[in-house]
């Protein structure tokens, strides 16, 4: 079932055999999936850097703003290096 707010799928995998381009479509979908997995891995690393830098800053005495800035810079650098 497709909800009104969801975009229509770009490719219906079930129709690939009738077009004769099943292999090309499957390869493209596989590449897109690998790209998404890499992006998720990169975002995970960036979020981990932020979490580690911000851990313990709230409610535990004076705030170390430098630590938060370093965490943000590291997360930003991770995203830049990975092309996001």
- Does the residue 53 lie in any domain? yes
Tokens of 60: 């535990």
Is residue 66 included in any domain, yes or no? Answer: yes
pTM passes above 0.75: no
Segment 13-22 long-range contacts (CB within 8 Å, at least 24 positions apart): none
Let me know if residue 58 belongs to a domain: yes
In a domain, 22, yes or no: no
Domain count, the chain: 1
Decide if 47 is inside a domain.
yes
Asked if residue 4 belongs to a domain, the reply is: no
Q: Which domain holds residue 50?
A: 42-84
Tell me: the pLDDT tens digits for 31-75?
999 999 999 999 999 999 999 888 877 666 666 778 888 999 999
d(CA 76, CA 67): 14
């Amino acid at each position: 079932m497709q909800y009104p707010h969801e975009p229509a799928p770009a490719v219906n995998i079930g129709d690939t055999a009738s077009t004769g381009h099943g292999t090309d479509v499957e390869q493209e979908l596989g590449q897109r999936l690998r790209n998404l997995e890499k992006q998720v891995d990169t975002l995970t690393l960036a979020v981990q850097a932020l979490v580690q830098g911000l851990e313990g800053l709230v409610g535990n005495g004076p705030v170390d703003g430098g630590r938060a800035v370093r965490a943000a810079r590291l997360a930003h650098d991770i995203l830049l290096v990975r092309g996001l």
